[in-house]
Amino acid sequence: MIKYSIVIMGTKPGTPKSQIQETKAYGAAQVNEVLDFDAFCQHLADHNSPYSKGSIRGILTDAVACIREQMLAGNKVCLGDLGDFHVELATIGAKNTEDFTVNNIKDVNIRWTPGDKFRHLRQDATFQLVPHRRQQKDAIDVIRNTETIQGLE
């Protein structure tokens, strides 16, 4: 289940708050838990895998190194349902082709194109409305202050 809250934001991203003229309500996904690399490897191992967490960690570590190597070689890596990985250049435009040099290339960005298992998440997703993180924090603060006032702590 994907938890979400409703936030009010300006309709033009990047506009400073003082210059926002129009706002709308948008949904914002709330993260339940963050799985670090070790936790994700353990999760994979726990799914009836014949491989240990350490073996999975090694395979994924090597896979990352190999994907990086292939992208730096100018290749696109297609991983089936996981999707495709390739590079995209962030450049500064030049007046013409003669003026464009490698110095116009400012960054190399990684692009991921999702495979079929990731492309259609909306049709399989269920949702639950929850308070925004700030509202959750405010509610917890009220509860703690009430407990302190009543001598419950």
Which helix (H) or strand (E) element contains residue 124?
helix 121-124
pLDDT per residue as tens digits for the range 39-52: 999 999 999 899 99
Q: Looking at 75, 98, 131, which one is the last position of a domain? A: 75
Going by C-alpha positions, the residue among 86, 127, 128 that lies closest to residue 109 is 86
Domains: count for the chain: 3
Distance (Å, whole) CA 151 – CA 81: 56
**For the chain, how long is the longest CA-to-CA vector?**
76
Residue with tokens 């670090």: 36
Confidence (pTM):
0.73
Give the CA dihedral 65, 67, 68, 73, nearest 10 degrees.
130
- At residue 153, does pLDDT exceed 60? no
**Residue 44 token pair:** 């994979």
Whether residue 66 is found in the same domain as residue 81: no
For residue 85, is pLDDT > 80?
yes
Does residue 24 share a domain with residue 14?
yes
**What's the mean per-residue pLDDT of the chain?**
90
φ, ψ (nearest 5 deg) of residue 13: -55, 140
Is the same domain home to 40 and 64? yes
pLDDT one-digit tens code per residue, 122-146: 999 999 998 887 776 777 777 777 6
Residue of 137 and 112 predicted with greater confidence: 112
Q: Which domain holds residue 16?
A: 1-32+120-153
Residues 84 and 111 grouped into a single domain = yes
- At residue 104, the pLDDT reads 97
